[in-house]
Chains A and B, each alone.
Chain A
Amino acid sequence: MSQKITIEPVTRVEGHGKVTIHMDDKGQITQSRLHIVEFRGFERFVQGRPYWEAPVLVQRLCGICPVSHHLAAAKALDVIVGAGTGDGLTPTGEKMRRLMHYGQFFQSHALHFFHLSSPDFLFGVDGDPAIRNIIGVALTYPDLAVQGVMMRKFGQEIIRATAGKKIHGTGAIPGGINKNLSIEERDEFLKGADPLNADKMIEWAQGALDFFKNYYAANKDFVDNFAQFPSNHMSLVRSDGALDLYHGRLRAVDAEGKKILHDIDYQEYTNYIEEEVRSWSYMKFPYLKEYGKENGWYRVGPLARLNTVDFIPTPLAQREFEIYKALTNGKPNNHCLHTHYARLIETLHAAEMIRELLNDPDLLGNDLVIKGTKQKEGVGLIEAPRGTLFHHYRINDDDQIEMANLIVSTTHNNEPMNRSVNFVAKSVMTGKDIITEGMMNSVEVAIRAYDPCLSCATHALGKMPLEITLVDKDNNIIDRKKSH
């Protein structure tokens, strides 16, 4: 008799998902799927609203990455108000947004590493679940836990200074920004008492990276072989090929490093990217049109970014990038767990960028907004911590939004997450009579590497309905339950 194992909710992932693993009567894994219930209500929610409200409204999508949505929407509306596509703002406008963005990156990556991932590394994937969590980290490695919390706090304070309040941040507006940075705010971030200053954050970011490198050195086989499979990779890159998390052109490379999307203008993304609907998941599966559904899927996020860019434009992160790239002889890195490595290099880069920006006098300027000839449609792209984030709006003659389309990072990573789940399920569960907690956690470790934000992907902040469907071999529904 075949078995179906269901893991739900996927722990330490934003929102709730469901993993279903089908096992035949010989103990072979026949199919594994990550199910996510996508609720497309948010696009409808913003329709009819004045366009200038969008950067504030979209923050309600997600309590984890409101700043990314805020900035992606603002970038799309820059186009609509005729302020260009990301690089046409005043120096103060652009650099304040960048500071906000790198603050968001820093705190989001710190949360993921210290809160969600480090327990697996410190206590082992099959470690005691009672301590394999941040409370266990706080008890066993108190200095590390405090670092994680204070790095989060530093990033949050940067966001507060640039975006305004934690809820309803209003910093970015169409065509620019609504405030500059005061000298007092700047000096506090640069010279504040330890640990809340930029120098200490760089030191701690380097320390977190060194921690992972040591872990990797001691566990190379595991890290290299866990959910390792070839894929395409996509991200924004700066015009000179540098890592740029705020603005650039869209590039994709294949598993061998060949460019398959050639630094295109993202305003034209619909010419290159399509979203596929599959019957068993409400979350769409994006792919590059030219390569089709089977071959055109790709990863986004830290792993993908360090595969697409040519270099990192800050010295410490660049040095680490070179060490990292040498692991794969300069070829794209397709090792799932190296995503953590890449994420920590980006954390270091974000800390360096924060310090560089804080030393830039343009942040103190007063020329905040520009406007030009209004357009009807605009696309805003940004590299959110989890990957490339698309916001696309069209307005009517009354300045109301009449169309909105959002593609979030977790949606881009839908196919690779499913492949990762399948890879790990086959590796650890095939032929086993007993499914241990450690095996189940291994599946979740694969998903967590992508840091998916299901609430964001499903556009259902607050609480997401969870539906459980039992089907027989002919796909007849045996039972269905839904919780709220």
Chain B
Amino acid sequence: MTKFKRVLIYGYGNPGRQDDGLGAAFIQKMEEWISKNPCTGINLDCNYQLNIEDAEVISGMDLVVFVDASQEVIEDFSFTRVDASSARVEFSMHAVSPAFVVDLCKKMFHDAPVTYLLHIKGSQWDFKEELSKTAVENLEKAFTFLTNKILKGELLALESN
């Protein structure tokens, strides 16, 4: 059994809006993957959107990977470090951004975990509970990428093997 430090993989988005459900779909695949690849220390969470209490949720972690659907111009998926200093003081929604969550965590708990954003390219956003074909393909690629990184211990030091 592989033992990790405290890792949180946190998908968010609305599964009722087609590819906006990529974050939730990713967490579902991770649950299945972990059931076949037993390991400790990896926590999974999922929600419609991020909010202020997530600052407390991530405060106890060593590593956090947020997983979200992307409308940006990227290939298949992107994997980038979340920079708290880039958090914009923008409250256009009740929901907040990953950078905002990390920044708030730092301000409130005086520390924050290493945080990444796995952005998976989506293309269709209608009221429908089904990922588009390209979203499914991108999901597979992103999933393979992250699970390989986890297995190789590239994201964080392993406590033991």
Spell out A's residues near B (CB within 8 Å). 9-16, 41-42, 44-45, 57, 59-61, 63-64, 66, 111, 114-116, 129-130, 133-135, 138-139, 142, 145-146, 148-150, 152-153, 156, 165-168, 453, 455, 461-463, 484
A41 to chain B minimum Cβ distance, whole angstroms, is: 5
Among B50-58, B112-120, B142-150, the one that faces the other chain is B50-58
B53 to chain A minimum Cβ distance, whole angstroms, is: 4
Contact present for A11 and B16 (CB under 8 Å): no
Q: What residues on B are CB-neighbors of A156 within 8 Å?
A: 53
Closest 7 CB pairs of A and B: A60-B16, A63-B48, A12-B91, A45-B127, A152-B53, A138-B107, A462-B17
Residue of B nearest to A45 (CB): B127
B75 at the A interface (CB under 8 A): no
Q: What residues on B are CB-neighbors of A165 within 8 Å?
A: 46
Q: What residues on B are CB-neighbors of A149 within 8 Å?
A: 52-53, 55-56, 108
Specify which of B52, B90, B95, B100 is in contact with A63 (CB 8 Å cutoff): B95
Residue of A nearest to B90 (CB): A11
Q: Given A142-B108, A150-B56, A167-B48, are A129 and B89 neighbors across the interface (CB < 8 Å)?
A: yes
Q: What residues on B are CB-neighbors of A64 within 8 Å?
A: 94-95
Q: What residues on A are CB-neighbors of B79 within 8 Å?
A: none
Q: What residues on B are CB-neighbors of A63 within 8 Å?
A: 14, 47-49, 94-95
> Count the A-B residue pairs with Cβ separation under 8 angstroms: how many?
112
The interface centre, meaning the residue of A10, A116, A135, A149 with most chain B CB atoms within 10 A of its CB, is: A149
Residue of B nearest to A462 (CB): B17
Known pairs A135-B89, A463-B125. 18 more at Cβ < 8 A? A9-B92, A14-B93, A44-B127, A45-B128, A60-B16, A63-B94, A64-B95, A133-B89, A134-B52, A142-B107, A152-B51, A166-B45, A167-B48, A453-B94, A461-B16, A461-B48, A462-B20, A463-B71
Interface residues of chain B: helix, strand, loop or mixed (majority): loop
> CA separation between A145 and B106, bound complex, in Å?
12
B79 to chain A minimum Cβ distance, whole angstroms, is: 22
Contact present for A167 and B24 (CB under 8 Å): yes
A167 to chain B minimum Cβ distance, whole angstroms, is: 5
> CA separation between A462 and B17, bound complex, in Å?
7
B15 at the A interface (CB under 8 A): yes
- Pick 24 A–B contacts, CB within 8 A, sort by A: A11-B90, A11-B91, A12-B92, A41-B127, A45-B16, A45-B127, A60-B17, A63-B47, A111-B51, A115-B94, A116-B91, A133-B91, A134-B52, A135-B103, A135-B104, A138-B107, A139-B107, A145-B107, A149-B108, A152-B51, A166-B48, A167-B46, A461-B14, A462-B13
B147 to chain A minimum Cβ distance, whole angstroms, is: 22
Q: Given A461-B17, A462-B17, are A146 and B108 neighbors across the interface (CB < 8 Å)?
A: yes
Q: What residues on A are CB-neighbors of B125 within 8 Å?
A: 462-463
Residue of B nearest to A115 (CB): B52
Q: What residues on B are CB-neighbors of A150 within 8 Å?
A: 53, 56
Residue of A nearest to B108 (CB): A138
Contact present for A130 and B91 (CB under 8 Å): no
> CA separation between A322 and B46, bound complex, in Å?
42
Q: What residues on B are CB-neighbors of A42 within 8 Å?
A: 127
> CA separation between A153 and B55, bound complex, in Å?
10
> CA separation between A41 and B127, bound complex, in Å?
7
Contact present for A166 and B91 (CB under 8 Å): no
B153 to chain A minimum Cβ distance, whole angstroms, is: 29
Q: Given A63-B48, A134-B104, A138-B107, are A153 and B53 neighbors across the interface (CB < 8 Å)?
A: yes
> CA separation between A463 and B127, bound complex, in Å?
12
> CA separation between A156 and B49, bound complex, in Å?
13
Within 8 A of A (CB), among B74-105: 87, 89-95, 100, 103-104
Q: What residues on A are CB-neighbors of B16 within 8 Å?
A: 45, 57, 59-61, 461
> CA separation between A14 and B47, bound complex, in Å?
16
> CA separation between A10 and B107, bound complex, in Å?
26
Q: What residues on A are CB-neighbors of B89 within 8 Å?
A: 129-130, 133, 135
Q: What residues on B are CB-neighbors of A61 within 8 Å?
A: 16
Q: What residues on A are CB-neighbors of B48 within 8 Å?
A: 63, 66, 166-167, 461
Contact present for B93 and A15 (CB under 8 Å): yes
Q: What residues on B are CB-neighbors of A129 within 8 Å?
A: 89
Q: What residues on A are CB-neighbors of B53 within 8 Å?
A: 149-150, 152-153, 156
A53 to chain B minimum Cβ distance, whole angstroms, is: 10
> CA separation between A45 and B17, bound complex, in Å?
11
Contact present for A166 and B17 (CB under 8 Å): no
The interface centre, meaning the residue of B13, B20, B48 with most chain A CB atoms within 10 A of its CB, is: B48
Q: What residues on B are CB-neighbors of A45 within 8 Å?
A: 16, 127-128
A423 to chain B minimum Cβ distance, whole angstroms, is: 23
Q: What residues on B are CB-neighbors of A130 within 8 Å?
A: 89
Q: Given A135-B107, A165-B46, A462-B17, are A152 and B92 neighbors across the interface (CB < 8 Å)?
A: no
Q: What residues on B are CB-neighbors of A455 within 8 Å?
A: 93
Q: What residues on B are CB-neighbors of A461 within 8 Å?
A: 14, 16-17, 48
Q: What residues on B are CB-neighbors of A463 within 8 Å?
A: 71, 125
Contact present for A145 and B94 (CB under 8 Å): no
Q: What residues on B are CB-neighbors of A66 within 8 Å?
A: 48
Contact present for B108 and A13 (CB under 8 Å): no
